[in-house]
Amino acid sequence: MSRSYKNRPQQQSTAMIGVLVGLLVLVVVGSCACWALVQGFNKTSDLLGAQPDVSAKPASNVLRIAYSPEKETLFTQLVNGYNQTGPDYRVQPIRMEPDAMIRGALNGEFEAMSPDSSIWLRQLDQQFAQQLSDADAFLVSQTRYYGISPVVIAMWKDVAQTLGWPTRSLGWNDLVSYALANPDFAWSHPSTASAAGLLATLAELYAAAGVTRGLTPEDLEKPETVARLQEIERTVRYYGEGEWATAQQVNQRGRDYLDAFVCQEQLVVWLNQQGKDVVAIYPVEGSLWEDHPLALLEVASLTPQHRLAFEQFAAYVASPQAQEMVLANGYRPADLSLDIRGPDSPLTAANGVDPDQPLTNLQLPGAQVIDQVRNVWWLIKRKTNVYLVVDTSGSMDGEKLRNVQDALKTFVNQIEGADERVGLVEFWGDVRTVVPLDRLGNNRAALIDAVDSLEAGGNTALLDGVQQAFLELQQLGDRERINAIVVMTDGRENASRTTLRDLTGRLGENQQSGAPIVVFAIAYGSDADYVLLEQLAIPGGGQVRAGTVETIRELYKILSTYF
């Protein structure tokens, strides 16, 4: 259909905290393997996190520390506690996702960082050395550990009991067997771009290889190891941007969301403190740990005052007062003299965890194996069929459409695998399949060109647009892949032939008898119909996100991690 009436837009050295922490790092971190949205996904500021102001010149007596968002409560308490002691050198916390930390550290945006796992420190030094073409170059200097948490399978208590818990220990094999026998069983873990996802994948590979130490590149190449990992991954409902976002969704949406998901033990404690009946399954095959390092960075802005500030703050987080905060927040403290089974400890059965677990600790392999694990995961992860459904009605004209075009291209380019299938549907007063569903290896360039050619004009046939993508996915009937629709609109339905009741009915029926299809919706701006979008997302267990001019690109980037 011609749409000429539309106006086309213009185009290491490591320092320990004394003997006890030295033992902890040696015994736990070394041998055990180190490994937004507080109340709803419609709060965009929470979703994206606090954005640091890196334009201002840093004060020489203020140490800027980037920290990962899942420990915001704890880290804020630690920083406030330290700053209230009246030190000469203060700490400024900056909340950032670990992947953003890597970029920020390379750009010299802060002097220290505390991600969820030391695997990020390895990756940072690796990228820094590559940047300088110097294999011996490093950015990470002093490193301290103040709290750790094992990676577990979080599961609703009644589901765990169905699998035989607590009478017998459960593991990856039990989860896979149950998922294969029960197609409605929904579990997820993040991609290997997150610490929890990478450490879970490593644990799965250890289980597949039948070892607990010394995982080698040769182990990852064995057909039986790859086949077993693929069997585990094919039962995943969908992936996600990280454990913290998933835990918040579980807290918000309750029992009907996921049956199980991968996260650190501390989040199981947190969920039970929110009134959820979730238990931690410590895989019988073995566990890896998130070790939450505090690391000084040899960046250009680092001064002697910053070094002193780091030493003072590192000493504070090792103090008895701070270590009690660590334990109170559900982490296992670095101070081994603290009783994690004491009356004030939250690490209890009432909070779904067992301080005597895990019984088997896995060894974190070297950088070469970790890099290979990421590559193997991309090859064998559950693949996707995803339709991008975009509003090109008249209200999208101008800056809105230009921002969405940029966001759509971000989504397409963010998905690394060539075997993922992506298609594009646009709707205005009518509907058009702009690019049919196909492997990104075949149509990535066509998708980018089509996005650049989108024009705005006309009414808003939102329901017809979603139905077009739904019917094509339904006809495909692919149960092996994740089937998803990512729909965006800035307005309200006013032109569809189909009705909301008819479409939601079809979506619900398909969940029971067809290949499941999940709808992710982006409400772009204040005029979007949140209620309607929620009704479209509910049948398949999807989500609604709020988007603005400032956040729409980041939202598409985040959603791409689900695929």
**pLDDT tier at 48, thresholds 50, 70, 90:** very low
- If you average pLDDT over residues 55-63, what whole number do you get? 68
Q: How far is the CA of 240 from the CAs of 190, 193, 246, 301, in angstroms? A: 5, 10, 7, 35
Q: Kindly tell me if the per-residue pLDDT of 563 is higher than 90.
A: no
**pLDDT tier at 43, thresholds 50, 70, 90:** very low
Taking domain 383-560, whether its CATH number is 3.40.50.300 is answered by no
Residue keyed to tokens 């506690």: 81
Q: Kindly tell me if the per-residue pLDDT of 141 is higher than 80.
A: yes
Q: What is the per-residue pLDDT for 256?
A: 83
Q: What is the per-residue pLDDT for 443?
A: 98
- If you average pLDDT over residues 259-284, what whole number do you get? 97
- If you average pLDDT over residues 250-263, what whole number do you get? 93
DSSP letter, residue 429: S
Q: What is the per-residue pLDDT for 272?
A: 98
CA nearest 468: which of 388, 392, 535, 528?
388
Q: How far is the CA of 435 from the CAs of 403, 411, 446, 449, 453, in angstroms? A: 20, 15, 7, 10, 12
Say which residues have a Cβ less than 8 Å from residue 547's Cβ, sequence separation at least 6: 44, 488, 522, 523, 524, 525, 555
Q: Kindly tell me if the per-residue pLDDT of 417 is higher than 90.
A: no
Q: What is the per-residue pLDDT for 59?
A: 64
Q: Report which of residues 74 and 562 the model is more confident about.
A: 74
- Could you tell me if 469 and 387 are in contact, meaning their C-beta atoms sit under 8 angstroms apart? yes
Give the SS3 label for residue 382: coil
* Fold classification of 18-148+291-341 (topology level): D-Maltodextrin-Binding Protein; domain 2 (3.40.190)
- Could you tell me if 162 and 141 are in contact, meaning their C-beta atoms sit under 8 angstroms apart? no
Examine residue 355 and say whether the peptide bond preceding it is cis (omega within 30 degrees of 0). Answer: no
Q: Kindly tell me if the per-residue pLDDT of 180 is higher than 80.
A: yes
For β-strands 482-489 and 517-524, DSSP reports them as: parallel
Q: What is the per-residue pLDDT for 46?
A: 40
Percent of the chain with pLDDT over 90: 79
CA nearest 296: which of 64, 532, 31, 11?
64
- If you average pLDDT over residues 164-182, what whole number do you get? 95
**Which region among 175-179, 182-186, 405-409 has the lowest average model confidence (pLDDT)?**
182-186
Residue spans of the domains in the chain: they are 18-148+291-341, 150-288+366-379, 383-560
pLDDT tens-digit map of 308-335: 999 999 999 999 999 999 999 999 999 9
CB-based burial of residue 475 (10 Å sphere; 0-12 exposed, 13-18 middle, 19+ buried)?
exposed
Q: Kindly tell me if the per-residue pLDDT of 37 is higher than 60.
A: no
Give the SS3 label for residue 446: helix
Q: Kindly tell me if the per-residue pLDDT of 343 is higher than 90.
A: yes
Residue keyed to tokens 């029992």: 255
Q: What is the per-residue pLDDT for 49?
A: 41
**pLDDT tier at 514, thresholds 50, 70, 90:** confident
pLDDT tens-digit map of 498-507: 999 999 999 9
**pLDDT tier at 57, thresholds 50, 70, 90:** low
Q: What is the per-residue pLDDT for 12?
A: 37
Percent of the chain with pLDDT over 70: 89
Q: Please, what is the average pLDDT of the chain?
A: 89
Q: Report which of residues 279 and 562 the model is more confident about.
A: 279
CA nearest 141: which of 18, 305, 298, 311?
298
CB-based burial of residue 497 (10 Å sphere; 0-12 exposed, 13-18 middle, 19+ buried)?
exposed
CA nearest 278: which of 150, 152, 147?
152
pLDDT tens-digit map of 185-209: 999 988 888 999 999 999 999 999 9
- Could you tell me if 322 and 81 are in contact, meaning their C-beta atoms sit under 8 angstroms apart? yes
Q: Report which of residues 298 and 59 the model is more confident about.
A: 298
Q: Kindly tell me if the per-residue pLDDT of 35 is higher than 80.
A: no
CATH superfamily of domain region 150-288+366-379? Periplasmic binding protein-like II (3.40.190.10)
**pLDDT tier at 404, thresholds 50, 70, 90:** very high
Domain 18-148+291-341 and domain 150-288+366-379 have a common topology: yes
**pLDDT tier at 91, thresholds 50, 70, 90:** very high
Q: Kindly tell me if the per-residue pLDDT of 22 is higher than 80.
A: no
Q: Report which of residues 513 and 28 the model is more confident about.
A: 513
**Which region among 20-29, 146-155, 291-300, 534-543 has the lowest average model confidence (pLDDT)?**
20-29
**pLDDT tier at 240, thresholds 50, 70, 90:** confident
* CA count, 13 A, side-chain hemisphere, 232: 23
Q: What is the per-residue pLDDT for 58?
A: 55
Q: Kindly tell me if the per-residue pLDDT of 528 is higher than 70.
A: yes
